[in-house]
Structures are given as structure tokens and as C-alpha cells.
Structure 1
Amino acid sequence: MGYRQMKHELYVIGMGPGREEKMTLEALQALEACDTIVGYTVYVDLLKMRFPDKEYMTTPMRQETRRCRMAFEEAQKGKRVAMVCSGDAGVYGMSGLMLELGREYPDCQVTVISGVTAALAGAALLGAPLMHDFAVISLSDLLTPWEKIEKRLRAAAAADFVICLYNPSSKKRSDYLKRACQIIFEEAGQELVCGVVKSAGREGECAEVMYLSELEEYPADMFTTVFIGNSETRIIDGRMVTPRGYQNI
């Protein structure tokens, strides 16, 4: 795909988990072509060394709508604009809001560029936990009530999905991961192999394999991605593996 200047064009770019080598070539090419990069402060700071000559615009958390409008307004000035997100822009990212607000800016064209989401980056570090059907659930109740999160956890566990948890804990939600583990145990009825990945693709990256009972007390934070296996998930040579069943064919 080429990135020639088009009138009022914006790119919503998933920049992957952090390091440049984890970013797709398409994302890098789009960022190279842009004049202005807009995003959450923490994510934008990761790009400044790689793209020092770009114009940067940021907002803190909980100002997502303002951030998106800033991007549209800059694009209307004739600039090439990139709205950046960690991971994939369409997985708990900004592409949905950008497309929703885009109806108010009919002279702007939004192009979404995918990236490597935390579930995929973390799975590679743990081994192969997502080889079979899986569900991704965020434990953040900022936009989703806990009652609905609990319903989704119970349904996924009862259906024997591998479960990947985003936003497992924060200062205000310090017991949410423990509550999730207890719900999953109630539905699965057995001890399950689990894995955690902290800061995938960034400084301080680490991955651990454990069991559900150990996961309950794990000191997770917002940079942790949690993997809870299904009834078939095993530990093989220290790695978390969910067999696909190829050997049974």
C-alpha cells in the first residue's frame, strides 16, 4: 500500500506492544509518511526517538474523544495525521471511536492499520496457549459494568475457552483478577494452567507459567496480560501449550 498525500486523510495505527521490531512494516511506512502523530502520552513517547522530526499531540487517559477530534482537526488543515494505539487499533483501541466520530467530518477519510495485540505478543512468549478457540475479556469496568464482565467470564469458562484477560488489575481494582479466577474455577471446576506476561515488547518484559490457584495472588498491573488455559492446556518443557489436536488426526 502506498501512502501518497490524500486530502484530509487519517491513519489509525496499531503500533504493536512497544519495540520497533514488533511493529508491522505497513505501520512503519504510514508513520514515516505522516506529519503529525496523535495519541496517549505513554504510547507517543515510545515513538519520539524513532521519529524525532514529527509533530506530536497528546492527551492523558479518559480524554479519548478530545484526542480523536484533535486528529480530525489537524487533518482538516491539510496535514497527514496518524492516531496511534498500542497493540492493534481495533482491539480495545481507537479505530471504533475514530470511525464513529468520522461521520461528523465527511471530508476526512479514516484508514485503519492493524498491529500486534497483546494477546498475540504474550502468547508467543508463553509458548502456544491460543492454539484452540479463545476469548479475550477486559477486566476494566470503566466502560463495562462488572456484572456484564462476570457474565462473560462465566460463559467463556463454561464453554471451555482459553481466556485472555486484558486490564487485569489497577489500584482501584486490586482484587478483580482474584475475583475473575474464582469465577473461572467455579465454572471450570478444576485447576487450570495459566500464564502471565508483563510489559510484552518493552523494557522489563517477563513471562511466567503457573496454575489458577497461584494466579489469584499474582501482583498484576495494567501492563500485564493474563492467559487462563482450557481443560486441555498443558505445561510442556516449561511452556504453556493448548493442543490443537493434530496428533489425533
Structure 2
Amino acid sequence: MLYVIGIGPGSRELMTQEAIDAIDKAQVIVGYKTYLAIVADMIGDKPTISNGMRGEIERCEKAIDEAEKGQDVAIISSGDAGIYGMAGLILELVDKRDSDIKVKIIPGVTASIAAAAQLGAPLMNDFCHISLSDHMTPWDVIQDRIDAAAKSDFVICLYNPRSRERPTLLREALNIITKYKSEDTVVGIGKDVARENEIEKITTIKDLDETEINMTTIVIVGNKHTYESHGKMITPRGYEKRL
């Protein structure tokens, strides 16, 4: 069995019991070295396979190799394995090999959900996820998606918002968004969610400080109804019409 596991954003409290059980069952653990460190105490002396950033294909290939030997293997992703994680790549590679190994996808708590819970209730109406990383998706395609989401007034969760390699993409994304949304639109920031140095902040598009944003940050841009009250970010669901 090959378990594809989402271990959540970083704390044991936000890891599902199914994920914990699968790691316990697995004979070999595969993952990005930073994620293996998060669950090191759960792995014990089990053999591990790891590498650095952008080694996803190699990691997945090795996980499949081990599973084809008849071992129970766990490959881990942060958050949810099916949201910018390893689930899709594993299934694509298994399909390409025409392998008969069994694959079980185990969901996890993704960053937007974990951040939203700390910020209040920003995702109570329609929302979308958009990654600003252009390593896999051309920037012009990402721009089109941001434009469509902003025009439709979705709450927008921005993943991979800003890095040393891409310091301007968040500002470019916000410039697209403000074609349709006010600069006073409420924005929630979750940084290092569920980790030791966790930071939550509620601001607006106009007052957002880009220097506070990095690759471990999730940026949640509200819709036109989203507001802040008593330190909580709230997107109404529409119940007020029935009260």
C-alpha cells in the first residue's frame, strides 16, 4: 500500500487520526526533509527517503519503487496532499507505469482552513484557492484566474504569495484584484499557521505590508461583504436575511 498523507499545517493537534495511523502502519516514510522533521518522533527508526525543494518527481518515483517491492509506504505532504501536494503526481506516475500498487489518499487540514479558523470565519461563502507560484503554472494563466475570481467577488486564498525569487507577484495580484474590489477590502494573513512562531493579522488591501509575507504565509482576501469585528474576520453566509 502507498499512503499519500496530508499531515496538516504543522501541529499534531491538526493532524487527522487517519494520518497518524497510516504513518504508524508504514514501513518506509518518504517526504521533503522539512516535513519529515515535523513528524520525526512518529517515525522512530523506520527508514526514510528525503530530498530538497523541487525534488517532487524523484520523491514520488522512489515512493512507488518501494511500494512495488511490497512494502507499506507513506509519502507525506504538508496541509492536504490533494491541494498543491503529492496526491496528483503520485496518481499520474502510477498510471504512467501502469503499476498495480494500491494507493490511498489521506486528507489533511490545508493552510487556508487552519488560518481561517484562527482569523474568524472568512470562508463562510464561496471561495477559491490560487497559488502565485509560477514554477508549474505560467504567470499569464495565474493572472487570468485572479482576474476571474476577483470579478466574481470570490473570497480568494493566495498560496505561495511572495518569495525572494518572486517579490513582486503578490503586489501584481493585488493590483488585479483592486480592479474589482475596494482597497478597503478586509484581508487576513496567517503566517506559520499551527507552528511555533504562528502569526495572524487582519488588515486591508490598502494597508497590507508585503514585507511581512513569505512562502509560509496564506493571504485571504475577503469579498465585498467581509468585515472585521472584535478582532475576527467574518464573511456573512446570508443568514441575516432570515433573522
Structure 1 residue matching 2:156: 3-state secondary structure: strand
Q: Which moved more, 1:55-64 or 1:132-141?
A: 55-64
Asked whether the equivalents of residues 134 and 163 of structure 1 are also in contact (C-alpha less than 8 Å), the reply is yes
Mapped partners of 1:190, 1:12: distance in 2:
40
Equivalent residue number for residue 10 of structure 1: 2
State which of 131, 136, 154 in structure 2 corresponds to 1:161: 154
The within-5 A match list for 1:162-181 is: 162-181=155-174
Q: Secondary structure at the match of 1:50?
A: helix
- Establish whether residue 22 from structure 1 lines up as the match of residue 14 from structure 2: yes
Secondary structure at 2:93's aligned position in 1?
Answer: helix
Q: Which residue matches 2:57?
A: 65
Amino acid at match of 2:35: Y
Relative to structure 2, which stretch is displaced further, 55-64 or 165-174?
55-64
The answer for unaligned runs of 5 or more in structure 2 is none
Whole-Å separation in 1 of the counterparts to 2:144 and 2:196 = 35
- Report matched runs for 1:1-249 at 5 Å: 9-103=1-95, 104-215=97-208, 217-249=210-242
Runs of 4 or more consecutive aligned structure 1 residues displaced over 6 Å after TM superposition: none
In 2, the alpha carbon distance for the partners of 1:216 and 1:202 equals 21
Of the structure 1 ranges 50-59 and 157-166, higher mean CA displacement relative to structure 2 is found in: 50-59
Q: Secondary structure at the match of 1:207?
A: strand
Q: Aligned equivalents of 1:194 and 1:181: distance in 2?
A: 11
Q: Which amino acid aligns with 1:42?
A: T
**d(CA) in 1 for partners of 2:88 and 2:210?**
34
TM-score normalised over the length of structure 2: 0.96
Question: In 2, distance between residues paired with 1:222 and 1:190?
Answer: 23
Instruction: Please report how far the alpha carbon of residue 201 of structure 1 lies from its aligned counterpart in structure 2 after TM superposition.
Output: 1.0
How many residue pairs match? The answer is: 241
